[in-house]
Structure 1
Amino acid sequence: MGVEIVTEWVEIEVPGAAEPMSGYLARPAQPGAHANVLVGFEMFGVTGYVRGVAERLARLGFRALVPDFHHRAGRRIELPADAEGRARGLALVGGLTRDGVRADVEAAIADLGRRFGAEGDVPTAMVGLSAGGHIAYYAATEVPLAALVAFYPGWLTTGEIALGRPEPTIDLTPRIAGHGTPVLVLIGEGDHLYTAEDRARIVRESAQSSTRHEVVLYPDTPHGFFCDERDTYRPEAAADAWSRTVALLRETSRRG
């Protein structure tokens, strides 16, 4: 079961944004210098599934915050994982900009510091799922993070979305190493978002990194293998990926 937790929606001031950004916060009920983890959502928004991921992290003793990166397009957008939801989600992800993501991540980290005082002034890691994996990967090129975990980060090697331009985000990997951020990338070899060359490119960037940078490839595994609400769920791969994620987060929080 883990530790007792509390959850709440919070409002985060983002410089330059017309309205505050909502965020879903899950944290241990007992006060303390819990390590911070930002969770990058799938393109569907801050859904119940993503909120559940934050709650799992909180039960393990982390303070987990899911920023609503879609906040410039609407308030607390939450889409179903069907054809209509995917079409709308793709459009929303296509509208995310590098400047916006950087501002949102910096604001979320600053908000945790203000909200919890000295207890919130602790290392902040980031875990991203699909589109959120790309968001987290880009954020790590701009903001020093305690750790980065990217579950099947979408469009990382292409310029299909604004977040991947002018150069593909994978090309910015040396910046992550410059921050000293350890990286864990988790990808299914059956993921429709990647060609074999895409996967090879991600692995090459990992091998060339000057800091810890691990890519785990799961054979015969599709995109979205971690989500237990869809038919893409693969229990064994999901369990292994979660174990690796928690181990890295715990290790880096101790360093902090």
Structure 2
Amino acid sequence: MLKEEIDSLAAGREFSRRDFVQTTVGSGFAAALLPVAAQTVTTDGAGLEAGSVSIAVGDLQMPAYCAQPAGKTKLPVVVVASEIFGVHEHIADVCRRLARQGYLAIAPELFVRQGNAGAYTDIPRLIAEVVGKASDTQVNGDLDATVAWAAAHGGDVTKLGITGFCWGGRTTWSYVAHNPAVKAGVAWYGPVARPYFAGDKTVIDLAASIQAPVLGLYGAADTGIPVETLTQLEAALKAAGNTRCEIVVYPDTPHAFHADYRPSYRKEAAEDGWARCLAWFRKNGVA
């Protein structure tokens, strides 16, 4: 059970299933997230090619949400790894924000084999039945397929980045360790001292394999990610010879501070983190 997710959501909150509209990947919000907060950001899709796509992974057709500037090719690519709730409207909006910066941004539904993460209202069940069954081996393979799809659909994967939130933040660290072609990553409040899938290594354990620059964005008041674990990761990265990673910790800031549709949103930290994210990609060859 992931304490930071449970603490940041109102347990047992009532909602109307009429509010849960998720007909395609990237539309609507997950049931566990309703009602969404009034400050939810919505990015206009004008001038973009944006919507659901299908990625072949062996015999599986994996859904994903993709956004990119209309009519453009040879675009730098940013893969977006979702929270535990899958690819809902907020993750799609992040893709549109990146597309407005000139990227082909794509968010694959990495829980598709395990079930519909967006339909769960009980967070412990979601973690046990879906999130905790998605191993790094499975996820990294699906991300490899996502990168291949992007290369065939207008993306320049010599300029490849990845970003993600919570579960996706940890996935960002893991995928950078897995794929040496990634130029840079930006991990938003992803746990570093424990895996989600029982057989996986921690991010700290993976430090020696993380050679690309990763920017970690964390909150000091995140009850599920103690600051001392970030210090341990920094030490492990340094011991492995990686001096290009950076971890930023925002004081008095909770988990999910970028999630503008949730009460955990902190506007100042979110906007600063987003500016740092874009600058990090530009600085490290993802532009």
Does residue 127 of the first structure (1) align with residue 163 of the second (2)? yes
Say which of 179, 183, 188 aligns to 2:214. 183
- Aligned twin of 1:59: 100
TM-score (norm 1): 0.86
* Unaligned runs of at least 5 residues, structure 1: none
- Aligned twin of 1:214: 246
Greater relative CO, 1 or 2 (CA 8 Å, sep 6+): 2
TM-score (norm 2): 0.78
- Aligned twin of 2:126: 89
**Deviation, structure 1 residue 206:** 4.3
**1:45–1:79: 8 Å Cα contact kept in structure 2?**
no
> 1:133-148 alignment to 2 at 5 Å?
133-144=169-180, 145-148=182-185
**Deviation, structure 1 residue 126:** 0.2
**Matches of 2:112 and 2:229, distance apart in 1:** 30
Say which of 272, 275, 281 aligns to 1:240. 272
- After the TM superposition, which parts of structure 1 deviate over 6 Å for at least 4 consecutive aligned residues? none
Change (3 A) 1:191 1:120: same
**1:2–1:60: 8 Å Cα contact kept in structure 2?**
no
Question: Greater shift after overlay, 190-199 or 39-48?
Answer: 190-199
SS at match of 1:122: strand
> 1:199-210 alignment to 2 at 5 Å?
199-208=230-239, 209-210=241-242
**Deviation, structure 1 residue 3:** 7.9
Alpha-carbon deviations, 1:140-169, whole Å to 9, x = none? Answer: 111121111000003x2124x21x635323
**Matches of 2:124 and 2:224, distance apart in 1:** 15
Does residue 78 of the first structure (1) align with residue 114 of the second (2)? no
- Aligned twin of 2:53: 10
Does residue 198 of the first structure (1) align with residue 229 of the second (2)? yes
Q: How big is the alpha-carbon RMSD for the aligned residues of Structure 1 and Structure 2?
A: 2.1
**Matches of 1:41 and 1:223, distance apart in 2:** 15
Question: Sequence identity, in percent?
Answer: 31
Q: AA paired with 1:56? A: R
Say which of 31, 51, 55 aligns to 2:72. 31
**1:3–1:60: 8 Å Cα contact kept in structure 2?**
no
- Aligned twin of 2:7: none
**Deviation, structure 1 residue 34:** 1.4
SS at match of 2:153: helix
**Matches of 1:56 and 1:246, distance apart in 2:** 10
* Unaligned runs of at least 5 residues, structure 2: 1-43
SS at match of 1:78: helix
**1:136–1:150: 8 Å Cα contact kept in structure 2?**
yes
**Deviation, structure 1 residue 32:** 2.8
**2:85–2:118: 8 Å Cα contact kept in structure 1?**
yes
**1:34–1:122: 8 Å Cα contact kept in structure 2?**
no
Q: AA paired with 1:100? A: Q
**Matches of 2:170 and 2:126, distance apart in 1:** 14
Question: Greater shift after overlay, 195-204 or 242-251?
Answer: 195-204
- Aligned twin of 1:152: 189
- Aligned twin of 1:228: 260
Change (3 A) 1:107 1:197: same
Q: AA paired with 1:32? A: T
Alpha-carbon deviations, 1:146-203, whole Å to 9, x = none? Answer: 111000003x2124x21x63532321112111xxx11100110000112243232133
Q: AA paired with 1:188? A: G
Question: Where is the helix percentage greater, Structure 1 or Structure 2?
Answer: 1
**2:117–2:126: 8 Å Cα contact kept in structure 1?**
no
**Matches of 1:31 and 1:237, distance apart in 2:** 32
